[in-house]
Amino acid sequence: MRKVSLFILAGVVAVATACAASDPGISTAVKSKLAADDTVKAYQIDVDTQEGVVTLTGTVPTTAARDRALEIARGTDGVTRVEDRLTVNAAGTIDERAEQESRDAAAKAEGAGDRAGDAAAGAGAAVTDASITAAVKTRLLADPDVAGLKIDVDTAEKVVTLTGTVATAAQKTEAGNIARDTTGVTRVVNNLKVGS
């Protein structure tokens, strides 16, 4: 009985190993790793495997996402080679650059508000909620009337929501005007509270 159990166990292990090294098994493993990775999980990447050669096709927004997808595929067991047929979407690259410019400007803050806001929003036709948020935050930090205040900025479908507490009604109005005057903003919901 024990020999039969060992024989069955060895067969199951052999079948599992063969499936994992099979082309469909490799494709499944690569897709699972791509889906779990923070850099590439949200992107549509098709994975095809033939004789251990993985072909990645689709569009990713940044070169970092493409490079990470290739790295993941190459590191998967059973992969002998990776064919890169991924396209980097230029709009994603523009947005990434715009957001980086906004972050750099926020660090300097002094006198950079208008330039950084315009750079983030005007870097391309594709203005994202993230770039609008970054531009508004940068402009708020650069404005001497509201720079030291803790104002949360959230953007959804180009509608900016401001939350937090300010000392005066004038600061509330100024923050709302700054957000409203940022390129790409369609509407501002000013939920700032006046008080200490």
Separation CA 12–CA 5 (nearest Å) = 11
In this prediction, residues 82-89 reach a mean pLDDT of 87
What mean pLDDT is reported for the chain?
74
Looking at residue 10, its amino acid is A
118-135 pLDDT per residue, tens: 544 444 446 788 888 888
Contact (CB, 8 A) for 100 and 61: no
In this prediction, residues 21-41 reach a mean pLDDT of 79
Separation CA 159–CA 157 (nearest Å) = 6
- pLDDT at residue 55, as a whole number: 92
Residue with tokens 């806001």: 117
pTM for the full predicted model: 0.39
b/e per residue 112-147 (b: at least 16 CB within 10 A): bbbebbebbbebeeebbeebbbbbbbbbbbbbeebe
| pLDDT band at residue 180 using 50, 70 and 90 as cut-offs | very high
Above 90 in pLDDT, residue 114?
no
| pLDDT band at residue 6 using 50, 70 and 90 as cut-offs | very low
- pLDDT at residue 153, as a whole number: 86
